Each structure stands twice: as structure tokens, then as C-alpha cells.
Structure 1
């Protein structure tokens, strides 16, 4: 059986692109909602009324813990597959049809679609060194031994969770990068679809008026990348990333608050 999983954060389920497209194009597939919202959006009632499976801890536990909670509590069976989607992804009927064909006829551990944002391919991509990535311009640029991809649109053979799970030291960012790194370590079989889906990728959009929100995300990024670099043996590269990212945010938002957040992250 195929299941869908969408983690919602401070949004009503009815407003999620992924939820709406899932209902439209694949209404008979069970949909799991993990609600990380810190405010009330009546999501539990919405899920109950629509026959969705609903989980929450009534706080934001982060992406990795949300995924692992679902894995531990769903008790998936052999031949079950899990489609993971961000709450702001646009998916298509072609995507669902290709996923169904792939899980029916083959035994893949991970299946990845082509994901585009702002007219660029953001997934899949190639690993570069241990904690870096290299974007591609076309599918043919992928290197089999280095393929990685973002969570949204990823399809996982649930038997894989008997070998690896998500790194709960990572709160939000690089969770998918780390997961795919673990897949490669156990020689998991990865398949790339022809289908394309669209992601409203937040790093391509920013609001200069929302400095506090930008600082919050900035701190999460630096925390998680520091963890990733340390675990991959390239702790030194974190400082290069942190400096470059700080300068980029200073230019974008014209706020010195990012300098304070930078020093907090390197202590």
C-alpha cells in the first residue's frame, strides 16, 4: 500500500497545496498529517472529517522527530511505500501515476521526482564532498553514486526504516541530505522519475519586513548545518557556510541582527 505524509506547520490543512493536490489526484491513498503547528487551525477536526490519519504533539518538534514518530506509530507492512511531501508542494496526476507504476513493478528503496522551484531543478542533485551539494541543470547530470534529493516528493520503501531512520539532532534543515547519505551507506537502490513537481521553495522568497522570521530560520539553518558538518567530518566547513550565509542575509535584509545570530551559532 502507498501512504502519503505531510507535515503541517502553522497552516490550515485546507490551505496546503500538497493536501489539496493529494485529495484531487489521489483521493484513495491514505494520507497522514503530522501537525507541528504552534497555533490552532482546527486541523484535527479537518483531518477527521476527511478521513486522514492525524498526529500531533501540540508543539513544533521539528521535521526529523515528526517523521520518526509517524514511522514508529504507523507499523508499516512489507511492500508499503511512503510519499513524503512538504505542505507547499504542487503535485500532479502524472507524478502519482508514475509512482504507482514504480512501486508495483520494481523494488526501489527510494524514488525521487524532478522538483523545480523558480525555474531551477532543486532535486535531485549530487553530493559534493561530505556535507555539500551540487545542483544539476538536467537529469543527465546526475551521478548514480552521488544522487540525493529533498524530502518533498520522495517515496520511500518503508522496509528501509528497519535499517535507517531520520537524524533527530537535525531540527529542520539538511534532514533529507543526511537521510540520503545514510541510504547510500547501506547501498540503497535509488530511482529517479521522469515526472516533475513544483515546490514553493522559501529560500527563493524573502520578506524584508519579517526580520524576526528570517532570524529564526537563519538560526535553525546554522544549527543544523553545524550538526551535519560535524557528523560528516567536515566541521571546519560550517564556518565557511556560516560566513557566506550571514553576508547574504545582511545584504538581503540590511539588518545587523544576523551578525549577533552568527556569533551565537559559532560559540
Structure 2
């Protein structure tokens, strides 16, 4: 069984990222897995970093610099093309800030036992003592609901990208990752489509730590907020349509909060503009 791994970094030397450092201390030491692994470091930074794959003997590593910074969907599609070429059965998606463990990679032996209907395999992800992934996808506020337990997930769930293994055959079925979600809500789209197409996911009985990116209106730029909101609306308007009434109400509440508490009023004005378009 062959696995392609893609780690997407931005404005950070790949070797200094938490993900690469923990890969080096876990996966690189597992002689049973390393020969069947192809690791792609996809760097969206403006400037290329100095990285020599030959510094790591026995591990097939490729480094690609893409200063266009088109987001993670483009990076994932690049990795998908490589996975098809090298005959990988699975593609592992990783951000730069996930802490990987030996226990996680020990679970990879289960992949050969998975039914073909299982097209995504995910770990539990915790951030600051809270399980943030996977969550049941029937609610707009899933972190306030009960969490899935390990095993087959017949009830639809959504898991964050980092740490998720996806069957290459399933990505082929989708004809790649949806680049209308270049960065945000791509994970929502993946798992929505997974269940819509009659597949299932598997939750491993293993936990990883991940630094959750939380939107802070005092630091987020208008451009970044626009990107997040556009992807969010795209998902609920065109895919998870049954949640549109609840989502519209949530946007109204968000707008009121922004008017009252957010200094940059252009953010509230953009929320109002997009709210009226739904």
C-alpha cells in the first residue's frame, strides 16, 4: 500500500513547522512505512525557502514552491496528480501545525482492512482540550453537540483537512478537489460530497493536537474575512441548502455583533451585503 502525503506551509520554513518536526520524529523512524511513502512539501510562501530533500535519507521528499498562494485546494490537486502517477491508494492531507504521533501512524495498518466504501479515515483532533474534529455535520454549531466515537461513521460527519486520509479513487471520482473552495470550507465540501455519493468515513481511536485558527476580528483583514464569508455562503447556498434558514439567522446575529463590537465597520458592511444576496 502506497501513501502520498502533502504538507502545505505558508510563510514558514517547512523544517520549522510543527508538522514536519513531528513527522521527522515519528514517521521517518518507521522502517515498515517509509518505503511506501511519498512526501510533498507544498510551500505557498512569497519567497522560496531553502530545503534539501537529500538531507533525509530513505525518505522520498519533494519540495515545491508556489508563490501564487492559491490556497490549499490547488496544493491538494497537485498532490493528487502525483499520487495518481506513483500509484498511491491514499492521500494524507496535512497543515503546518498538527502534532503527529507514533500512535497515529501505527493505525495505518488498518487501511488495508477498510471496506472500499470507507473513503476517508480521520483521527480525533483536539485543540486546547476540546475535540474539534470530527463533528456531526447536521448542525451549524457542532461543537455544542455530542461528538462521534471511534469506528465507522454512518451518520454524516465533517473533519478538518489536516490528518485526513482520503482514497485516491474517491478523489478521482470527484475529478479533484473543488477549487471554488480555495482555502476555507474545503473540508466541509469534501465530507458533504463523500456522504452524498454514498460513501462513509472511519474515525481512528487515536488523538492528535492541532492549533485551531480562530477568527479574531481585531486581527483579520477585510480581504481575509471576505474570503471566509464567501466560501461559507458558497457552501450553504449551493450544497448544505437545508441549513440556509438557520444560517441566515446566524448571519444576522453575527452582523449585530460586528456592528456593536468590531472596530472595522467595513467587515459589518460586507456581512450585510452578502446577507442580502442569500
Deviation, structure 1 residue 180: 0.7
Could you tell me which residue of structure 1 aligns to residue 4 of structure 2? 3
Alignment of 1:1-267 (within 5 A): 1-27=2-28, 28=34, 29-37=37-45, 39-43=46-50, 45-47=51-53, 49-50=55-56, 52-76=61-85, 80-98=89-107, 100-107=108-115, 108-128=118-138, 132=140, 134-135=142-143, 136-140=145-149, 144-164=154-174, 165-203=176-214, 206=216, 208=218, 211=219, 213-232=220-239, 233=241, 238-248=247-257, 253-266=262-275
* Structure 1 residues 66 and 238: CA distance shift in structure 2, 3 A: farther
Spell out, residue by residue over 1:80-138, the C-alpha distance to the aligned partner (whole angstroms, 9 max, x if none): 2121111111111101111x221133343110100011211111111116xx4623544
Q: Which runs of 5+ in 2 are unaligned?
A: 29-33
Q: Which runs of 5+ in 1 are unaligned?
A: none
Cα distance in 1 for residues equivalent to 2:261 and 2:157:
31
Q: In 1, are the aligned partners of 2:135 and 2:148 still within 8 Å (CA)? A: no
The answer to which of 87-96 and 239-248 deviates more is: 239-248
How many correspondences in the alignment?
258
Spell out, residue by residue over 1:9-57, the C-alpha distance to the aligned partner (whole angstroms, 9 max, x if none): 22211221111111110013321112222x22515x3456445212343
Q: In 2, are the aligned partners of 1:88 and 1:200 still within 8 Å (CA)? A: yes
Cα distance in 2 for residues equivalent to 1:239 and 1:74:
39
Which stretches of structure 1, 4 residues or longer, exceed 6 Å deviation after superposition?
none
Supply the RMSD in Å over aligned alpha carbons.
Answer: 2.8
* Structure 1 residues 75 and 198: CA distance shift in structure 2, 3 A: same
Q: In 1, are the aligned partners of 2:98 and 2:210 still within 8 Å (CA)? A: yes
Deviation, structure 1 residue 153: 0.8
Cα distance in 1 for residues equivalent to 2:260 and 2:55:
46
Give the TM-score of the pair, scaled to structure 2: 0.81
What SS does the corresponding residue of 1:169 show, helix, strand or coil?
A: coil
